[in-house]
Structures are given as C-alpha cells and as structure tokens.
Structure 1
Amino acid sequence: MCRDYLRPALLIFASIAIGVVGWSGHVALLPVALGFPVLWSISQTRLIAALVSSGYFLAASRGLPQGVAGFYSSDIWPGLLLWLCSSMSFVIVYAVLWTKNARTRPLRYVLAALIMAIPPFGITGWAHPVTAAGVLVPGWGWWGLGLMTAGLAGLVTRLWPAVAIALTGFWLGSAASWTEPGLPNGWRGIDLEMGASLGRDAGLHRQRDLIATVRGAASDGGRFVALPESALGFWTPTVARLWTSASGDTDATVIAGATVLDATGYDNVLVAIDRKGGGSILYRERMPVPGSMWQPWRSWFGESGGARADFFANPIVSVGASQAAPLICYEQLIVWPILQSMLHDPDLVVAVGNGWWTEGTSIVAIQRAAATAWAKLFAKPLVIAFNT
C-alpha cells in the first residue's frame, strides 16, 4: 500500500524541486524546467498529473504571495488567493490534456504548451519550459524554438531518456561558451533603487534627479537612455514640457516608463523624449499584470479604472534608425509578447520593470533571466532598466 503512494509523492516532490530550481532567477538553470514534461508524462493518473502540474507551477511562482502583500501593504492572504487562482488555468490545461495513450501524448503536450503560450490561457502562462530554448541553443532563433518544441514532445515519449541526454548535451555546450547578450551601441539602461517612491513621487525634485541621471548617462556616450517602468509617473503636459526643455542641451533620446490616465482607466506606456520631437508615447503595454493592474471585470459592472491591455498591438517600435521590441515588467514572464515581436525581426530588445514590491522574492531575477534567454535565442542585443 505504501508503495502505491510513494511514486506519486516522489513525482510531486520532484515537480516542486524543478519549479524552485528552474525558476530561481539564474538563467543557466532555466533548462531544469524541462523536467516538468517528463514528470507529467510518467504520471499514472490524471489526478497525479494535475498535482504534478500544480506543484511545478506553484513552486515556480512562489514569490507571488509575498510580492502581492508588499504591493498592497496587506497581509499574505490576498496574495495566497491570487497565487492559487492563477495556477488553475495551468493545472486545468495540463490535467485535461493528459493521457495514458503514449501515441497521442506528444501531440497533447505540445497542444497544452501552445495553449499556455497564447491568450487567453497564456495570460497566466508563467514558467513556460520553452523559455529555456535561449539557454540550450542561443542564436538559433526560430529554428531553435522548433528544436525546443520537438524536444518537449520527445520528453513525453518512452524515448525521453535519450532526448534528455541530447538536450543536456546542448545545455553543456552552451554553458561552456555562454556570454550575456550585448548592449546595443549607444544605448544605456539605468537601474534605479528608489523603491515604492518611483512613479509616486512626482515632485520637481525627483524629476530633476532623473534628468541629472540621464545627463550623466548621455555624457558617458549614451545616445539612447532607458529608464524603468513608471519612472516619470503620470505623463502630463507639465512633465512633457519639463523633460523636453531638459533635452535641449543633449542629443540623447530618453525611453522612460510612464502612466497615461483618462476617464476610463489608464495605459502603462513607454515615452520617447528628445529635443527634436519633444515627448511622445512610444509603446502601450500589451499585457499589464492581471488582477492588480488589468481588471476587465470592472467594465462588466459599468465601472471604470484599471490598466488597458493592448494584447497584440505595437509589437515593435521605432527608436532612431532601429526597431525595438519593448517588454514592460509582466510581459517578460509570458511567451506571446516576445514571440509576436520577434516575428517582425527587431534590432534589439528593451526590457523595463518596476520591481520594488518584489523585495525578498526572486521575481525580478526571473524577469531578467527570461528576457536574457529570449534575447539570446534570437541573437538580439538587450537593454534592461529596473527599479528595485
């Protein structure tokens, strides 16, 4: 009888360990997540497959309860509730598509992976194992994504040990020659440590401090300077005039996060500021954080507020003579925004975030690791700007 429970318990424990290690925030460890499809495939029943999926996802997203508590300055219970609710889509998809039939299992797993990569389920499609492609086969682009998809399918067959050995060979070969994505020529990404005050303190003194920071980067050769998400606070005509006038004695273009507010809600955006064109909205976030920012249910009850999701809008933007793929905060944790951008073959990736609320968690490290992996897969330079 004990043996009947031992195997499921070991599978669940292993799935938790894979979630913790694979999504620890170290880019080199992302391929550990490839252990999840193996455990899913060797689960004996649909219930065990659901528990394995739950263990993996909850472990990978373990920083969410503490992060939500920090964001709302509340106790841990709202974060725990959101953590559990967000896991439901992942668990449901992988439980429903699990099968004992070894012949159809690879197709079902690939279908589940596809469903979790695109909306609507892809909205909470964190911890997707396909992210590891940039670590295993950096520079392979779409061919590498295809190889990873084939590898994931192979990991749920009876030949999974041979497939795992082959993928491990790619992993070791990549680790031996690994380099971080390069910084584009003339670009500077500014990391800040201003905590919760960034974006909330809209005083003149704060704006002048940021302007001084940008000027320092420009004097160091930065022609394009990226500031974190929400760096400028609310994007108003007054803020626009202040930054435009400050750009009069520099050739740098500033790419900074801001919020555009109107009567029905707000947009989380990146603005571009230079002395020639002034200030303008460059990018509107495609997928704000569900729950805390994106709250579509408000409109169902005739209420306003919440961030708008532009989903498949503006996948790339023009910055100078280059095309950039922007990713704001949450977009770095899911799959479809970066892949949609890569369909347009941008010249670089710009990843910004405001992670003050994640203190004590690995969320920001995971965001950086994911952005790095995608940039490496498609051999794109990467600009990162975070506030903590």
Structure 2
Amino acid sequence: MRRDHLEPTLLIIAAIVAGTIGWSGHVVLLPAALAFPILWARAQMRSVAGLVSAGYFLAASRGLPQGVATFYSSDLWPGLLLWLCASASFVGVHAMLWTSRAAGRPFRYLVAAALMAVPPFGVTGWAHPVTAAGVLFAGWGWWGLAAMTAGLMGLVTRIGPAVAVAVAFVGFWVWSAANWTDPKLPEGWRGVDLQMGSSLGRDPSMQRHRDLIATVKDRGAGGISNVVLPESAFGFWTPTVERLWVRSLQGTHISVVAGAAVVDAGGYDNVLVVLSAGGSRILYRERMPVPGSMWQPWQSWLGEAGGARAHLFANPTAPIGDHRVVPLICYEQLIVWPILQSMLHDPDFVVAIGNGWWTQGTSIVAIQRASTIAWAKLFAKPLVLSFNT
C-alpha cells in the first residue's frame, strides 16, 4: 500500500474501532469514543476527515439496520438507507468544519460538537463523545461538562498538548473504572423490565392489563410506593384503560408511571402517565420521538395528519409528589440536548423508559442504558430504568 494511502486507511480503521468499542453498551467503555476527535484532527484532507467521521458514526450506530429490519419485518435495505441518511448530518458537519490549520481546530471542533448536541443537527446527534463526561468526571455536574468540553478542544490541538490531554483523560478513566458504581435508585422507587416483545402496547386485551397490574402489585411490595413500567406499557390511553387501572389500585399505596400513546385527529403524543387509586394524569410528552418511524414532520408540510408530535423544548422536568424528575423516553436517551435542558432545572432524579423489542440481536438498548447511566452519574442523580425487550 502506498504511504500516502496508509495513514488515511489507519485513521479510518481506528475510527471504526473507537465507535465500536465506545458504543458497545458498556458504560465504562464510553471514553473510547474520545479517540474520534483525535483522529479527526490528524486527518490531512477534508475528504479523509469525512471518511473518519463516517467510520466512527456508522460503527457506533451499527445496530440500526438490523433493528429497522426487525421493526418493519422487512429486509436490511430500509435499515441500511436510514443508517446512511442518519450519518449524513454527522459526517457533513465534521467534514465542513475540519481545517488543516492547527490553531483553528479547537474552535472548529467546539462548533461541530455544539451543532451535534442541539436541533436541527442534534436530532440525529447519536454517539456524541461528550457523553463520556459521566465516566471521567462522575459527580462533577456542569463543571465536569466544562472540563470535558475543554478536554475535547485540547485533543484536537497540536500533538504535544493533545497527548497531555489524552494522558490526563486516561488517568481519570482508570480511576473511574476502578471505583465505578451505578447510580442508586430513589428511595421507594422500582423500575420493572419486561420481556413481552412486540406485543407490549399492541395487545389491548383486558387480560394483558390484568397481568401488568399483578406485576405492579407484586413489585410494589416491601415499601415500594412508585413502580415504573416501560414505554408503551399502557398502549393507547383511553378512559376504559384508566378506569381499569385506577379501580385495580384501590386499597393500595402504589403509584404507577408508565408509557402510553395519546391519539387525536392530528396524530399522537408518546407520553408518560402517572396513576394511582386517586386518579391519573399525563406526566410528560416526549420531546423527541424517533425520526422517521415516529416523528414525521413532512406529514404536516403535505397537509396530512399522522405521526408522533415532537415537543422539542417542552416539559424538561415533571412533578411527582414532592419531587421533580427528568423523564426520558427511548430515543431521547441517545441524544444530548434533552438531558442537558432538564439538568438546568436541577431535578431530583431521572426516570428513563424504553420499548426495545425490535433491537434484539443488537446493542441498542445497552447503549441507551449506558448513555443514561453516564449522564445520571455526571450530575450525581438517582436513576430509575425500565425497558421492554
């Protein structure tokens, strides 16, 4: 292989390895993603920077084609198309902002990182290296985020300072891995993981609801007063479903937080509902549903109804009793701005739910969990997780 081809090839291979390891679903491996800005900065041409970005992003999101094929009961082609389209914004932003001038790289990378953290580019801003702040700087909060941001800028400077920053990051990484503990549960709360596959939310029978009610009552024993069920657990939220659950909880002290869909003529909201023997209310409306399969903004552009609504910056926290919680539904756990917007309000803890039946055979749910755990650790917040697979 010619020498002028060897270095770009090695950079691309290293980016693929960084994306694969960093986003393997193991939270303590998230800092491996920090190799990406180093490799991006070492590229000698804009085209190579674009290929490095593509290698990293496609490796990090490698479970998408298979997941989409499972969701739609089709072959891999729709998933491959979505996979490539989703990478376009990440690759485009990083290729456009790359520069050969070492002095200009820190600011350029800062702009790229910021663009991939907020809409519109942040809508597909998966695999953001800043997520590793929760591993390196657990408990530091906003100071940890600032330290990570400064460190990312340092990684793309001249080789000397970049090596110094990398060595410092490795030291923090080793210390954190040696002392790692997962976020604690809030007192009196329990998240329930289910293995109901694609039937959850699609089986509207009374027997399914009675089975879930029995599960809630069983998990609500022993001083547990709040039980969290996964996304879509209630299915379509109707007065009939509400009455069944409220009546079934009579005589108990249990509150249930679970996912549901509220449908109207214009589309639907993916929501969290909280209910108890005293009644129910909608706790949260999802800020960012899954683009394409759920959120379809082109429907309104064409004058048609349908799809999930995106409440981009609405309801960053929600009140439950005397607490304010951060609700995160499924896709919101993979992107940056929902959790950071919520943390501006200094919530008490995080409640994260998902319905990942379609991800079987991939690491998508594990990545969702790892990302959410990292953000909870960064801000030292208790965490409740509940997933269906």
TM-score range, shorter chain: over 0.9
CA contact (8 A) 1:218 1:250 kept: no
Cα displacement string for residues 241-296 of structure 1 (whole angstroms, at most 9, x for unaligned residues): 111111212111100000000111000000000122x0111000000000000000
Cα displacement string for residues 193-242 of structure 1 (whole angstroms, at most 9, x for unaligned residues): 00000000010000000000110111132111100000010000000111
Partners of 1:303 and 1:262 in 2: how far apart? 13
For residue 152 of structure 1, what is the aligned residue in structure 2? 152
Aligned residues: 387
For residue 107 of structure 1, what is the aligned residue in structure 2? 107
Cα displacement string for residues 317-376 of structure 1 (whole angstroms, at most 9, x for unaligned residues): 011111100000000000000000000000000000000000000000000000000000
For residue 256 of structure 2, what is the aligned residue in structure 1? 254
For residue 54 of structure 2, what is the aligned residue in structure 1? 54
1:206 is aligned, of 201, 205, 208, to 208
Structure 1 position 384, deviation (Å): 0.1
Report the AA paired with residue 223 of structure 1.
S
Cα displacement string for residues 33-91 of structure 1 (whole angstroms, at most 9, x for unaligned residues): 00000000010000000000000000000000000001011110000000000000000
Structure 1 position 142, deviation (Å): 0.1
| SS, match of residue 383 in structure 1 | strand
| SS, match of residue 104 in structure 1 | helix
TM-score (norm 1): 0.99
| SS, match of residue 103 in structure 2 | coil
2:176 is aligned, of 174, 177, 189, to 174
For residue 279 of structure 1, what is the aligned residue in structure 2? 280
For residue 17 of structure 1, what is the aligned residue in structure 2? 17
Structure 1 position 175, deviation (Å): 1.2
For residue 338 of structure 1, what is the aligned residue in structure 2? 339
Partners of 1:268 and 1:382 in 2: how far apart? 21
Within a 5 Å distance, the mapping from 1:1-388 to structure 2 comes to 2-158=2-158, 159-276=161-278, 278-388=279-389
Report the AA paired with residue 135 of structure 1.
V
Partners of 1:17 and 1:221 in 2: how far apart? 45
Partners of 2:222 and 2:169 in 1: how far apart? 42
| SS, match of residue 249 in structure 1 | coil
Report the AA paired with residue 180 of structure 1.
D
Partners of 1:280 and 1:184 in 2: how far apart? 21
Partners of 2:347 and 2:331 in 1: how far apart? 20
Partners of 2:258 and 2:354 in 1: how far apart? 10
| SS, match of residue 13 in structure 1 | helix
Cα displacement string for residues 132-184 of structure 1 (whole angstroms, at most 9, x for unaligned residues): 00000100000000000000000001121111000111111111211100000
Unaligned runs of 5+ in 2: none
| SS, match of residue 286 in structure 1 | coil
Structure 1 position 381, deviation (Å): 0.2
Deviates more, 1:141-150 or 1:171-180: 171-180
Structure 1 position 12, deviation (Å): 0.4
| SS, match of residue 318 in structure 1 | strand
| SS, match of residue 370 in structure 1 | helix
Partners of 2:222 and 2:53 in 1: how far apart? 48
Report the AA paired with residue 70 of structure 2.
G
Deviates more, 1:26-35 or 1:1-10: 1-10
Partners of 1:304 and 1:376 in 2: how far apart? 40
| SS, match of residue 219 in structure 1 | coil
CA contact (8 A) 1:253 1:274 kept: yes
Cα displacement string for residues 91-146 of structure 1 (whole angstroms, at most 9, x for unaligned residues): 00000000011111101101100000000000000000000000001000000000
Unaligned runs of 5+ in 1: none
Partners of 2:195 and 2:322 in 1: how far apart? 31
Partners of 2:121 and 2:226 in 1: how far apart? 35
Compute the RMSD of aligned alpha carbons: 0.6
Deviates more, 1:243-252 or 1:78-87: 243-252
Deviates more, 1:186-195 or 1:173-182: 173-182
CA contact (8 A) 1:137 1:170 kept: yes
Partners of 1:247 and 1:115 in 2: how far apart? 46
Partners of 2:251 and 2:240 in 1: how far apart? 19
Identity %: 69
Deviates more, 1:297-306 or 1:374-383: 297-306
Report the AA paired with residue 116 of structure 1.
M
Partners of 1:279 and 1:321 in 2: how far apart? 16
